[in-house]
Structures are given as C-alpha cells and as structure tokens.
Amino acid sequence: MSESNFVNVSNDKAIPETIHEVGAVNFDLAERIPGGGTICEAYKTVLDGHIVFVKRLKREYADKASYLSALKKEFEMGAQLHHPALPDYRRFFGDYIVMDYVDGFTISDLAKNEDPWIADEDNVRKIMDELLDVVDYLHQHNIVHCDIKADNVMITAGTRNVKLIDLDKCYTYVHDKRISGSASNFGLDAEDVGAPTLDFRGIAKILEYIERHHDDFDGTPFLRFVKECRKKTTTYSELKRALKPLLLSAKNGAGAETGYFVPFTSPVDFNKSEKLYWRSYCCEYYRTTQNIRRFIVKRINAQCETDPVLVFSLKKDYESICDFDHPCLPRYRDYKFSYIMMDNMIGETLESLIKRNDERLRDVKFVRKFLMELVDVVDYLHKRSVVHCNIYARDILITPEATTARLLNFERCYSPSQFYSPIANPEELGLSKECVGDRRLDYRGLGRIMIHMMHEVEGVPFKKFKRFIKACFDDNTSIEKLQKALKWHWWNF
C-alpha cells in the first residue's frame, strides 16, 4: 500500500469527520466478527482491494472523549510502528481504526480448545521468543504495551507466527498515564505504570494461562523463564537467556547452560500438605500441590526453623545441586527461607525398606542395580567438586521407576563454593579430621549402607558384594574400582 494511504495524524484536517467520506468503511457490507472486547466491535471487510480488520467503538462509547482519545492514541502509535509481529495500522476515522486483517486465532482460543500445537514445548518457546522480540521493539520506541495477555496475542494461520494486537492501553511518554493499562493486574504498584516489567509479566501470565487451560501442556521447562519475567529489574537479554532450553546433561561439564529451575510458587500450606516418612538429620518432607502440579517440599523441622546454622545448611543443600541434571538427583525448583521445593518423586527410603525387611533387598540384581546408579551419581557429583559426605540409608530413595535410586539430603555436603555451614565429620567413617571433603567419604558411605543391610536384613547376598564393600573402604579406591567390583560380581551371578 502506498505511503499516501496513511493518515498524517498531526493534521486534524486529514481525519474525516464522517464515515461517508471517500475510503470510509461501509458497515452495512462489513462482517461482524468476535474479538472487539467490551468497548469496541470488530469487523472484517474489503477496502481498496485488501481484506482489513476494523476496530470500532460501540455506540454507547462513541461520543465519550476518553474512549475516543484512547482509540486515537492507539492509531497514532500503531501507524509509526513496523514490525512483523505487529499488524499495520492503515486509517483512522474518528470512532474506528482500519488495520491489516490477521488470519489466525488468539492464544486463549488455542488453549481453551486444547489445540495440540499450543501444547508443544518447541512451539511455545517460539511464541515466547517472538513476543520478547516485539516487546523489545516497542520498548526501544519508548512504548510499553501494558496489556499483554492470551486474548491479545494471535497466532497466524499457516505460518503460525505471533501477532501482538490491541495497543489501546499502552503507555508512552507522550500520552497520559490515566489511559494506560493497570499495573495492579501484574502485581505492581500504581506508580509502575509504564514500567517495561509490565510486559514481561504479561508474557509470564500467558504461560500460566496455557498451563491452566490446556491439560497436555507442561510448563516445567519454562519455570526459570517465568521467574525471570516476574523480577522487577529483569531485562530483554536476561529473558532471552532464561528462555533457552535446558542444556546441561550428565555428559556436559559443570559450566554448561543450566536452563530452568525456579517456578512461580506461592507459600506452601503445610496444613494441607501430605507429610512423608522421608527424613534427614534436620528436615522433614511433604508432598504438596501448586498450580495443579505436585511437588516435594523439604522443610527444616518446625521447632528448629529459626536456627541460623540449619537455615544455612538448607541453603547450601539447594545451592550445591540446584543446577545439576542427573536422573539420580532430585530436581530442585525453588528455595525459601526454611524449605526447598523440588519435583514430585514416588518411593520409599532405603532405610524404610531395611526396617520392614523388604523382599527386594534379597534380590542380587535389584541391589546391584541401585548400587550401580549410586556409584554413577557419586561420580557425577565428584566431577563437579561436590562430595555428599554423609550417605546413609535414609538419604537414598528407592523408586518404582526405570531409575531405581535417588540420592537426597545435601545439607552436610562439601563444595568449594559452599563453606558456611557444617560438613559431616570424617571421623565417623574412619578418616582423620583433615579429610573434610575427601571423596572417600562417599565411597565409605556406600560400603556402610551394605554393611547396614547385611546386619538388619536376613538373606541379603552379602558374599556377592564382598569385593565391592572391600573396595569402598580401600584407601586407594576410585570410581573405576567400585564399578569393576560390581561388574566382577555380575559375571558370577
């Protein structure tokens, strides 16, 4: 469309006074469509040979100055913006705007109809990426949308690209804040109207909306991104980084990008949570529900939750492994003053199995399997300079999943960067005090578990693991020797 088709909004004479002037929309021929909202009506029609979208004030608002001003503001800003994720604004006619017609559906439509496309992680990541780009474009032009939500983001048919619509509540420095969107809708104060974080929080709300309305969508991969969106001081570049998929795996080094680990959570109501029989030396476990998802919560014992030493211990537990990704480690999601929230897990501690003489502990293949997994996760930790230091039967969760063992309770672990809370005493495992953080602590912890099982459970195949236990207490042992000891037994089963 040529440049002459755009209205020069600085010249009031260029704005027609009635809809009967040349180029105006004939509403008798226009198709009324959904999407106008509470203030406006929406139409689809043909103008100058092009299919266009018309946004028109409803009759009861058409003579009110504040609504006319908001509509004019939307056009003035829209006409100067040119971005692939924004519709082109074409003309302004007093009580309605003409813009490019977007053939597609809103995110709210897709989510409510449980369209499988919107439940795909890669597709949602693409939506978030395109939204960040268009929001950054607006911010560079000193414009804050202020009303980003599922109803105001369209996905085009065919190409499935993002279109951000409805600039009527946006804020810019040359317009009155009184006709901008409400900051309270995004958990901010009134003086925060026009703050870029309004748009970032709006993007986070879209993810929450999809998860709330689409049963097949799992928002877990975006937890860190959502947390970043809700920060008052976040930036476009930080959000782009947080949006990247989780790259760290057991094969990656410790410095790899760690991805998403912190969710949007409200305080846990422990009175409505299920208390579990798992434990550590200072904490208790609960199962709770947040945002229709189940989580495990590890909490400092209620009578000790103000003890600064235990608070530091719990913080060390979280910070030591929150960025790690291994199937035998819990996946930490959030940390509060007195508790850690992690992904849901199902199972019993090894301590519980030993107490009730579980039949599986007499199965050589079962015992060997979880020992192999524990040796593997201990090796993973040691390569990242973390030593558990305190492996007991209570610290091992046996699950019904393909991966049998989970190693829990890192509040007494050793890590070079986490030195401000107590570390397990090496003398408990026959080592000198100077051996704080020695890898042999974990090897001997595994051997101690086997001896515990031998004494408490009748019929444990002790002879099959005698060589493994000996390797655990060898001063010159290594992961390779432990793995070899287990493999040596395998050929003799």
Residues 120 and 88 in one domain: no
The pLDDT tens digits for 287-346 are: 998 766 789 999 998 777 777 888 888 888 888 888 788 999 998 888 887 899 898 899
Read off the CATH number of the domain in which 402 is found.
1.10.510.10
b/e code 98-123 from CB counts within 10 Å (16+ = b) = bbbbbebbbbbbbbeeebeebbeeeb
Answer yes or no: pTM beyond 0.85: no
Residues 326 and 356 in one domain: no
More confident residue, 178 or 217: 217
Residues 97 and 109 in one domain: no
Read off the CATH number of the domain in which 282 is found.
3.30.200.20
Domain's final residue, options 77, 101, 125: 101
User: How deeply is 129 buried, as exposed, middle or buried, from its count of CB atoms within 10 A (0-12, 13-18, 19+)?
Assistant: middle
Residues 225 and 290 in one domain: no
Residues 43 and 150 in one domain: no
Domain's final residue, options 101, 117, 152: 101
* Single-letter amino acid, residue 409: N
The pLDDT tens digits for 35-48 are: 777 888 999 999 88
Residues 92 and 193 in one domain: no
What are the DSSP E strand ranges found in 231-307? 274-279, 283-290, 293-300
Domain's final residue, options 310, 328, 343: 343
Which pair of tokens denotes residue 376? 């593997």
pLDDT given for residue 428 in this prediction: 65
Task: Report the first-to-last Cα separation within the chain, whole angstroms.
Answer: 80
Residues 384 and 436 in one domain: yes
More confident residue, 257 or 143: 143
CB 145 within 8 A of CB 138: yes
Residues 113 and 95 in one domain: no
pLDDT given for residue 270 in this prediction: 86
User: How deeply is 242 buried, as exposed, middle or buried, from its count of CB atoms within 10 A (0-12, 13-18, 19+)?
Assistant: buried
Which pair of tokens denotes residue 339? 């508790």
More confident residue, 156 or 221: 156
CB 184 within 8 A of CB 190: yes
Nearest-5° angle of CA 149, CA 155, CA 157? 160
In a domain, 255, yes or no: no
What are the DSSP E strand ranges found in 220-292? 274-279, 283-290
* Rounded Cα gap, residues 170 and 449, in angstroms: 62
Number of H helices, E strands in the chain: 12, 18
Domain that holds residue 426: 348-490
Q: Please state whether beta strands 293-300 and 339-343 pair in parallel, antiparallel, or not at all (unpaired).
A: antiparallel
Expressed in percent and rounded to 5, the helix, strand and coil fractions of the chain are: 40, 15, 40
**In the chain, how many domains are there?**
4
The count of C-alpha atoms lying within 13 angstroms of the C-alpha of 307, restricted to the half-sphere facing its C-beta, is 15
